[in-house]
Each structure stands twice: as structure tokens, then as C-alpha cells.
Structure 1
Amino acid sequence: MVERSSINLAPPLCHLVLASQYEMQQLQRWFNNAEQLHNWGGDSFDYPCTAQQFIAQLCRPATQSYSLITGHAAQWVGFGQLCDRFGCHHLARLVIAPTHRGKGLARTLIYELFIKALAEQPKPFSLYVHRHNTLALQLYIALGFVITAPPEPENPRLHFMTLEAGAANALVQGYLSDVNRRVDER
């Protein structure tokens, strides 16, 4: 079980909050074309679509949506979803705001989602990633995710990846130690 109650998250450190309806509507603006949207959200997303259609496609049953917030101004910089799927905590639709990419926030988003999920129940993590998304694939491999056989019919465009709960917990402990060190340095 992961605890973070003793951590003072001073800016510019990040934290997760439940995504608001407004944020989910604004999220649509992070994608400029059908290819970007499908690479992120899956082929079921219509492009273009109304804000109402986008929300309907985004909000899946038993899936929780989170926003990554950073800084004292509570700036929204990322989005991700968690659900129970395949006996795992399944990470879905991870994205960093276009103006904040390249700053290591994708890793932070994943760590924060690990914290949220492990606080509820320790079990493995899973995700899908497009095979051509080399940046995301490199990040997931660096975090210890491994490509495994998918638990459903294989989509030749996607890799299914998993990470054991113990490995995720170890990553979180290192992350929290770094957060504590940064807070102490202030």
C-alpha cells in the first residue's frame, strides 16, 4: 500500500485530481487531426465531433479520469484514465498537454496513477500502446513494462504491456523519495 499523506506537494510538484467535465471537453483541443485522436483514444473516436460526442466516447463505464495538475497556479498539464481490466490496473488514454511535452511529465503522470491505483489494491498494471509510438514505448520499457501476449484478440497495430505491482511500488517509492527531497530543499 502506498501512502503519500506525509508529502507536502509544493509547486512545481504535481498531483492528480478527478478530471472535470470542463477539462474533458478542453482535452479535445489537444488533438489536431483524426490520426492524433485515434492514436491516443482508439479507433472508436469520431473526428471531428462535438464536445458532447467527445465526452460520450471518452467516458467508459468503470473508468476513472484524472487530470495532472502542477504548480501553485494549479495548471492542468496532463490526463489519464484508470480502470480494472484483465485483472490489472489498466492505464488508458495518457496524454500531456502539447505545450508541456518533453518535460518528463508523462513519467510523473504514470507515477501518480500508480500511487492512486496501489492505494486501492496492489495488483499488476497493463496498457496498450501503438507500435509506432516509439516515445511512449521507450518510456514504458524504461519504467519496466514488458510486451506480453494480449488477453484478447491481437490488434497488429498495438503492443499490450504489463508491469508487476511490486515493480510499480518500487518505482513509486523512488519517486516519492525524490519528491520528499525536492520539498526539503525548498
Structure 2
Amino acid sequence: MTTQLALANIAEMIQLQSWFVSAEQQQSWGGDNFDYPCSERRFLELLCRPGTQSYSLSDAHNGELLGFGQLCDRFERHHLARLVIRPQHRGKGLARVLIFELIIQALGQQRRDISLYVHRHNKIAVQCYSRLGFTASPPPEQENSRLYFMTLTAAEAISRANQYLAQI
């Protein structure tokens, strides 16, 4: 499957709402402040934070939305947030594609370390991020016992992104 990463549009962001079937799922992905259920307008307000760029990962052939992620500047790092793969496409390696495409996008702006938060109970995501080189690190703000703060150095991100690019 050939994919493409682009800035997300409003229609794609609204589509995301249907990917979550419970308050727990939506809050695990978006944060505790995400109301469930909520109106499209409220969903977009919560999703579109100042200083955050939203990206969609789509099938290059038919335009189907496959994944979504955000990039922002936090903790003097490129911070990945709200990463998600469309439920029916999980387990196909698309999380790796999404993350490396976001890392390439971020490093194209500035060479900096990469960070993200992940819920400790989300074993599949923790395992995915670990395989991609992220390591649990001390959090830069008051610790939330439900979350891991994970980082990837800029040098390691560049090395792994180059390996990714060589494989595609």
C-alpha cells in the first residue's frame, strides 16, 4: 500500500471521531479533557490546539484516511501527539509509517529530539514505540502515573528514519 502524509483537513479530523467507540478510547487517545460523546465542533476545538500541526496518513491510490497524528513544539523537542491508525487497518505496520513520516517532517523543520506520551495500559503502543527506538524517560513536567514519557534522540531519529527511507 502506498501512503502519503499531508496536513489534515477538517473533514479528515471529523472522521476521526467515529474511530472511538467509548469515552475511555477517546480519552486514552486525545486526553482527559475530551468529552464523549461531543459535537463535531467541540471535537475540532479540542483537537486543534494552538501551535499544533495535524497530519493525515492516506492511501495514495484512493485517498482513504488511514491514520492521524500531530506535531507540536513541547519540552524543547518535537512532540508527537494523538497518534492513531484507523481501526480496520491496525496491525499492518502503518503506525511505523505514520511515526517515521512525522519524524521526517519534524526533522525537516529543525534537528531536535522527539518525544511522546503513551498510556501505560496501551501495551501495543508502548511496544510499538519501543521497537522504533523510543525509550521511557523522566517526564519534563509533573508525573502522571498513567503515562509513560518516551523520547528518541535526534541522532537516533535521523538514523532510524534513514533506515526507514532505505526500505521504502
Q: TM-score interval w.r.t. the shorter chain?
A: over 0.9
Q: Determine which of 63, 71, 78 is the counterpart of 2:67.
A: 78
- Which whole-Å CA distance do the structure 1 matches of 2:40 and 2:32 have between them? 17
The Cα offsets for residues 95-121 of structure 1, whole Å up to 9 and x where unpaired, read as: 000111110000100000011001111
Q: Compute the displacement of 1:74 (Å).
A: 2.2
Q: Work out whether 1:176 is the aligned partner of 2:153.
A: no
Query: Which amino acid counterpart does residue 128 of structure 1 have in structure 2?
Result: Y
Aligned counterparts of 2:55 and 2:155: Cα–Cα separation in 1:
23
**AA paired with 2:41?**
Q
Partner of 1:104: 93
* TM-score, normalised relative to structure 2: 0.98
> Unpaired runs of 5+ in structure 1?
1-11, 180-186
Q: 1:148 aligns with which of 129, 137, 142?
A: 137
Q: CA deviation at 1:71?
A: 3.5
Match for residue 124 of structure 2 among 129, 135, 156: 135
Secondary structure of the 1:141 match is helix
Partner of 1:31: 20
Cα shift at 1:171: 1.1
SS at match of 1:140: helix
Tell me, in whole angstroms, the C-alpha distance in 2 between the residues paired with 1:70 and 1:49: 28
Match of 2:55 in 1: 66
1:52-74 deviation line (CA, Å, top 9, x unaligned): 00000001110000000124112
Q: What is the aligned residue count?
A: 168
Percent sequence identity over matched residues? 58
Q: SS of 1:151's equivalent?
A: coil
Note if 1:44 corresponds to 2:27. Answer: no
SS in 2 for 1:43: coil
Contact 2:67 / 2:84 at 8 angstroms: preserved in 1? yes
- Larger RCO (alpha carbons 8 Å, 6+ apart): 1
Query: Aligned partner of 2:144: which letter?
Result: N
- The answer to which of 64-73 and 118-127 deviates more is 64-73
| Distance in structure 2 (CA, Å) of the matches to 1:34 and 1:74 | 28
In the superposition, the TM-score normalised over structure 1's length comes to 0.89
Q: Distance in 1 between matches of 2:83 and 2:98?
A: 8
Question: Aligned partners of 2:52 and 2:124: how far apart in 1?
Answer: 25
Q: Give the one of 18, 40, 62 matched to 2:7.
A: 18
Partners in 1 of 2:103 and 2:152 — Cα distance? 11
